[in-house]
Structure 1
Amino acid sequence: MAFTIARSLVAFGVAVSVGLFMSIGLQQSALERLKVNGPVYEQVVYGKDLIADILPPPLFVVESYMLSFEASKFPELTETNLAKIANLKAAYDDRRAYWKTTRLPQALKDQLENDVIAKGDAFWGVMNREIIPALNAKDEDKAHGAIEQLRVAFHSHQDAVEKLVANSDAFLKGEERNAASEIVTWTIYAGAAGFGSFALLLVGLYLLRRRAIIPLDGMKAYMGNLAKGDFSTEVPYADRSDEIGAMSKAVAVFRRNALERQDAQKRETALRDAEFERERSQLAEKAAEEQIRETVIAQLTYGLEQLSNGNLDCRIKTPFATAYETLRAKFNDSMDALCASMAEIAQTSKQVGSSSAGITDAADSLASRTEQQAAMLEEATAALDEMNAKAKDASDHAGKATGMMAETRTSAEHSAAVVREAIAAMERIEGSSSQIGDIVNVIDEIAFQTNLLALNAGVEAARAGEAGKGFAVVAQEVRELAMRSANAAKEIRALISTSSSQVSSGVELVNRTGKALLEIEGQVEQVAGLIARIVSVSSEQAVAIGEINASVNALDQVTQRNAAMAVETASACRALGSQTQTLEGVVSRFQIDAAASPSRSQKAA
Structure 2
Amino acid sequence: MTIKTKLRLAFLLMIVLFALFGAVALTALSMVSRDIGHIAGDVLPSVVATNTINTATSNYRADELRHILSTDPAEMKRLEADLAKLRNEVAVWRARYEPLVDTPDERERYANFSRDYAAYLTSSDRMLERSARNENLDAVGMIKESGRLFDDFSDDLVALVQLAQADSEKTSKAATTVASRGQTVIIAGLTAAIAFALFCMWLVETMISRPLAGLTGTLHKVGAGDLSVEVALTDRVDDIGQMARATAATIGSVKGLTGDVGTLVDAAQSGTLSARAERGRHQGEYATLVGGLNELIETLTKPLFEVVSVMQLLSAGDLQGRMTGTYEGDLRALKANMNRSLDALVSLLGELATVAGRMAEGDLTGAVAGSYQGDFAVLKGNVNRAQERLRVLIGSVADDTEQIAAAVTETSAAARQVAEESDRQLVSLTAVAGAVSQTAQSVGEIAANAGRGRDLATATAGLAEEGRVKLAHLSGAVERIATAHDRIERIAGTITRIADKTHILSLNAGIEAARAGEQGLGFGIVAQQIGRLAEDAALAVRDIEVIVAESGATVREGVATAGEARGSIERIAEAARDSGGAVQAISAAMAQQTVAVQELVRRLSELRAGSEGNAAAAEEISATMEELARMIHRARDQVGRFRLA
Per the TM superposition, whether the score is higher than 0.5 is no
**TM-score normalised by length of structure 2:** 0.41
Find the structure with the greater CA-based Rg. 1
Which protein, 1 or 2, shows the higher relative CO under an 8 Å CA cutoff with sep ≥ 6? 1
**TM-score normalised by length of structure 1:** 0.43
